[in-house]
Structure 1
Amino acid sequence: MAPKRRTSRATPITDTLTTTSVTNAQLQAMIDQGVTTALAAHDATRNGDDSHTSGTDTDLKKKMTDKYCPRNEMKKLEAELWNLKVKESDKIKRYVGGLPDMTHSSVVALKLKTMQEAIEMATELMDKKIITFAERQAKSKRKL
């Protein structure tokens, strides 16, 4: 038999829960009333504008674009991104060009877009070729 636990509390804690009986119909009516109130408040803020974008939204978008995305900065960023992409593709071409012929053709056929992908695939292909070569060497030694 397990020993009884002693508690340091003098009086036990009792939870008191006050419940009210609400029918499903009453609950649904309260939900509907809240939704109706929320929709009315939303309609009041729109001022009768049925379109999804009001003139103030367009003005705000224009101001935000002018402030945080000036055209000259966007053009600089686009040019920088283009240069990075071109440099990356040049690096991949140089890396793949230095691979052995069998691996080179396999990596070129995959048309990889990042240097990391090219390195991973080339490494994987080279590992497979080395394993295949080692297995052939082991078989030829066994025959002798």
Structure 2
Amino acid sequence: MPKAQIQAMINEGVTAALAARDATRNDDDSHTLGTGVRRPVQVAREYTYPDFQKRQPLNFKGTEGVVGLTQWFEKMESVYSISNCTVACQVKFATCTLQGNALTWWNSHVKTTTPEAAHAMPWRILKKMMTNKYCPRGEIKKLEFEMWNLKVKGNDVVTYSQRFQELALMCDRMFPEEIDQVEKYVGGLPDTIHGSVMATKPKTMQDAIEFATKQMDKKINTWAERQADNKRKSDDTARNNKNQQPNKR
């Protein structure tokens, strides 16, 4: 083998070895402070009840009715979302906000099992239990009837969307999947935007609400601009007609 080729192979091997060493050093340096001292690895802090309380969750006494319970559900799920509350802590921390009759009810349930088992239940199960307890069947029937007949009044998509979401929380058995909820929501939109929203084929409620709101805003703005344009033309015509009339002594 020629001497030059042998030297090239040696150089290539040395280069590869140096690159490997540098990569290892860089990886090690990512955990150091630049002085050869290893930087302490940051351990994720455990989510605590004070962390939960900082988000100001609502209290629930059991006397607030369907609306109060719905608002409690909404606020609790909002706290879970923005605070990254772990699934294991959801029921445990949520039930700490119960007061009065609701607290008595929960303590009675805990006595039938164990605190560990009660706190280990999924959030959706607690929601179902509380709905059965604090929303009589007759009230739920009224809400379901309202849901089936809910439609946008005039152009007020915002109020429609808000009420739809409130009812959906309490009438969850009507919608096995979110896509069923989306279809019902779109069905209640006015003809002026129904086709446009349908054409986008929204898969989530968030998508459907955002697009419906944008479409209605666009329709309202277009209508307002047309009205303003018509008024301007009418004023111009009246002014021209006045200017063309002969002066009378």
Same fold (TM over 0.5): no
- The two structures have a TM-score, normalised by structure 1, of 0.43
Greater Rg by CA: 1
- The two structures have a TM-score, normalised by structure 2, of 0.26
